[in-house]
Amino acid sequence: MKVLFISSWYPNSTNPLKGIFIKKHAEAIKKAGVEIEVLAVTVSYSKKLFEKKFSRIVDEAGITTHLIELNSRFYKFIHLDLILQFAYLKKYFYRKIKPNFSPDIIHSNVLFPAAIMGYWLAKKENTPHVITEHWSKVDNFLGKSLYSKSGKKAYNSAKFVTVVSEFLRKSLSKHFQSPENIKVVPNVVDTSFFSFKAKTTSEKLNFCCVAHWNGVKRPDLIFNTLENFSKQSQKPIVLNVIGEGPLLEELKKRKWNFEISYLGNLVRQQLAEKLQDSDYFLHASNMETFSIVIAEALATGTPVLASNAGAIPELINKENGLICNNDVESWKKGITDLINTNFNNQKISESAQGYSLEKVGNKFIELYKSI
């Protein structure tokens, strides 16, 4: 079986972390025994008026990846120009991919722009189309975009649409003539890195938080809660902040009554080690269609305190953590309850194995075989 994996969210020379979770889905499919090639069309900012780059690599998982990079100071207009993007995709596919790799299934990721382009290509090739959706803004897109009609056709003509959470499945179901074709397949956690390590006792309470600190994330809630909680805590508090983003800038200027380490972006091995060494993981957000960082923390056996937002409650239960509303009082009570609960760290890790490459890859294989 040959699968062409199409995405517009994918690591590229401008942003090596873009769509890394989609890349992990491709790796899971490869690991399950499928012949898979990736065709990514990315649009990024550049100081130049317009530049295009074409590259073909074999990545660390052995996946042949074709990357079309369209970069411009007017990148926002190019992002909206689906006809232009599809012209490059189609030309590349017929010249560079199909002569040696004729796919049995086209599998696109995120409705706009990749899945609409995947729908057009699948229709032209008379090939079954599968879509995986991660996007929380689909409702807005389908209500206002010039491409909303094409988006609805893409969804409803697909053999299956997979989503990363039950929350997203329910949100999308109203756009489908056959909602039963929506299947939940979670994001991937690389359990070869994010694995169980027994916690050690410490004179300090070690907390960790991880995110791209922009958009809907709420680092202010984490900081203000720990500031409040530190006044009554019997142990000194340490917060390791991983990741970068504009939401941290004002927080860095303030003085806090607890110890903070700003660690920036870390590679997987370093991130896994920090999670393993943490007593608790904190994740504050106004919206999540999934949360890979929560899943990664759980895979290391680390209990989680997180916002009651989007799909987060699907990952958290009384055995592995707590959820709370997005206000300081609720979070303060949540931290108090968290540190007074006896968690079985190894059991937490074992329960998160459903996010492994093998388990996620097998879910995709089941769908492909049914097609």
- The strand order across the sheet containing 105-109 reads 51-58, 64-72, 35-45, 2-7, 105-109, 129-133, 160-163, 182-184
Beta strands 35-45 and 64-72: pairing type?
parallel
- Kindly report the CATH number that applies to the domain delimited by 205-353: 3.40.50.2000
pTM of the model: 0.92
Every domain of the chain and the residues it spans? 2-188+357-370, 205-353
- Same topology, domains 2-188+357-370 and 205-353? Answer is yes
Question: Does pLDDT of 6 surpass 90?
Answer: yes
Centroid of chain to Cα 251: 25
> What pLDDT, on a 0 to 100 scale, did the predictor assign at position 145?
86
- Kindly report the CATH number that applies to the domain delimited by 2-188+357-370: 3.40.50.2000
Per-residue pLDDT tens digits for 197-221: 999 888 999 999 999 999 999 999 9
Question: Does pLDDT of 67 surpass 90?
Answer: yes
What is the average pLDDT value for the chain, to the nearest integer?
96
Confidence of residue 172 (pLDDT cuts 50, 70, 90): very high
Confidence of residue 19 (pLDDT cuts 50, 70, 90): very high
Per-residue pLDDT tens digits for 73-94: 999 999 999 999 999 999 999 9
Tell me 217's DSSP state.
B
